[in-house]
Amino acid sequence: MKYKIFGFLVATLLLLANVTSAWACLISAYQPDVPQSLRK
């Protein structure tokens, strides 16, 4: 019984880590266009 709970906890945390890292990559990949007035 103890190993089932531990396995479920590990699987849930791995899923959470995967979703969080995918979301962070999605946010950092967004690069809006810089206006001409701000370009050097």
What pLDDT shows up at residue 39? 86
Provide mean pLDDT across the span 2-31.
Answer: 91
17 pLDDT band (50/70/90 cuts)?
A: very high
* Distances in whole angstroms, Cα of residue 19 to Cα of each of 4, 8, 24, 26, 27: 23, 17, 9, 11, 12
What is the CB-side half-sphere exposure of residue 4 using CA atoms within 13 A? 1
Structure pTM? 0.61
4 pLDDT tier (thresholds 50, 70, 90): very high
What pLDDT band is residue 10 in, cutting at 50, 70 and 90? very high
What SS3 state is found at 15? helix
Q: How many whole angstroms separate alpha carbon 29 and alpha carbon 22? A: 11
Q: What is the C-alpha separation between 13 and 32, in angstroms, rounded? A: 32
